[in-house]
Chains A and B, each alone.
Chain A
Amino acid sequence: MSNENSVMTKEPAKAPETKAPKAPRRGHRLGGSRVGHNIIIAILCVIWLIPIVWLVCMSFSAGDGMYVASFFPKQWSVSHYVKLFQPDTVNQFPRWFLNTFKIAVFNCIIQTCFVLMVAYATSFGKFKARKPLMNVAVMLNLFPGVLTMIAVYFLLREFGLTNSHFGLLLVYSASSGLGYLICKGFFDTVPRALCEAARIDGCNEAKIFTRIVIPTSRPIIVYTIINAFLAPWMDFVFAKMILNAGISSQYTVAVGLYAMLEKSLINSYFTIFCCGGILVSIPIAILFFIMQKFYVEGVTAGSVKG
């Protein structure tokens, strides 16, 4: 783990060193273009943030509707946030948040385990069925998931698992092993010499997996965890299908917020929808900021060899 860190800190530190000598040469020209360069970036960032800023504005505006005449609200208010936490028949945001959080945490655990397991088996395993299995996985990934939804629904219903969070969890996590490619790509870069050495020391495969490969794979684990954690917050198609009894307190955040935009409700709930959207984004954003470094590393290493 420690060598992982040092590698990371080394890279950026090295970069300026090599480029430093050149800076003075073009120094006189750089002044102007440097300002321009940063202005371009600033403009891009502003463009990218406009809708998000609008989301924030709408959530703090005193009015209700979604069709407002000005970008910034005429009156600011936190009343919609207050309403968000006062559950009524339509809005049960605190419950939805807990539901989704619960599903997300379990999905995180199962999906991460599955992905790591499949990735290890396909990257380190040396068995005959390895290639055929991987080819089958590629094929399966080509089928659009939405299409198989109805079949998945009836399967779950026969198991008595519709309208339960467990059923929804199964939908998210059960076939998550198919998303192993990026993780496998990362595992392919783990030096095999390390494993050989461990094997000579008498470690069995299970020990190599848990003691050697997992500890050196923090970036890809973080990447997998983030993705697994996010899925339940993003999906509404499957959630709407599985949680079809119309019991609002069972909903996940996505289904609940989506329902607020129904034509008969949108006028009174659009701003509350915005508040909900922001509150959901905050934990995800924090997660992202903390883990960004690993996330980048994980996805990079994975996609390089995936």
Chain B
Amino acid sequence: MASTDTALEKEVHQHGGDWSGGTEPFRISYGKLMMWYFLLSDAFTFAGFLIAYGALRFSSPTWPVPDYVFKTHPFGKTELPLIFVTVMSFLLIISSVTMVRAVQEGHRENRRGVVLWMLLTVLGGVGFLSCQGWEWTNLIGREHMSVTTNPFGTHTEAGVYLDENGKESGETFRAGSSYIMHKAAVVNDEHAEAAEGHGEESHAEAGGHGEESHAEGGEHHTMTVMKSELPMDKPGFYVDERGYIHRKFKTSEGISSGDVQIEAFGPSAFGALFFFITGFHGFHVLSGVVFLLIILINAASGLYVSRKNGYEMVEKIGLYWHFVDLVWVFVFLVFYLL
């Protein structure tokens, strides 16, 4: 019996192939295979978020138009819809290309090449994160969008805005056009005296804001209001408890034609989805940058030279980095292009 067993074992070792150890299923290393399956599961997570975005967008009567929301950028005063996010996309594409170059240099066991191209990849990732930081700061700080409040609304009917005295102004809009509600500078009453100078300051700031990014808003957002005055109802506009200025307008079509209405907030899901999904992607980029740096330092120290496996670690982080770029293709598609 004993001799049969050894014969069988021998046979398994010689012909048993994949189940006896020593061979790699799919002719790929364990680490790379598991990276692929991790990325597959991550793709399902992102797909879940993006499908939620789609379902909520489909369920809302109006949705903020992305080229209106994302038209600001840090280079000068003119409005350029979508250009800034295109620059961000380019940064990720370029860093993906430099990553491919790093992997290629790894196959040649060229340490200097790996380090150089990985360094450029890290720079691309950091550049992308900086751009996203600016975009978020702009949305939160200047346009006052938050997870629960979305000041970007859409008109469902054509109409005309009212002026300071409640009369129709020349400023008309058509159905489907977008608006942003600005925020007045709110001053606490106890500090009203002391804040007089401060109030002037925020006055100037709010004024610059209006001229710079949204010239169509009129002069309303140049104002400073006392906290006790809120909510404030004027002939031309309404300021709510939190200081958001809702302009009044008269509709000129539909069943409510001729009614005076105030601007409403846009669907609040927009802010939550935007911050959550781009934040989750940004967090992937951030962890990617951290791991790139770790592997970059390891590569520079010569750790992978002794392994003589064609810098496989660089290949693995490369797979992850391309995936981050891949996800951005779809985030860019659903948030900015469609």
Real complex partners, A and B? no
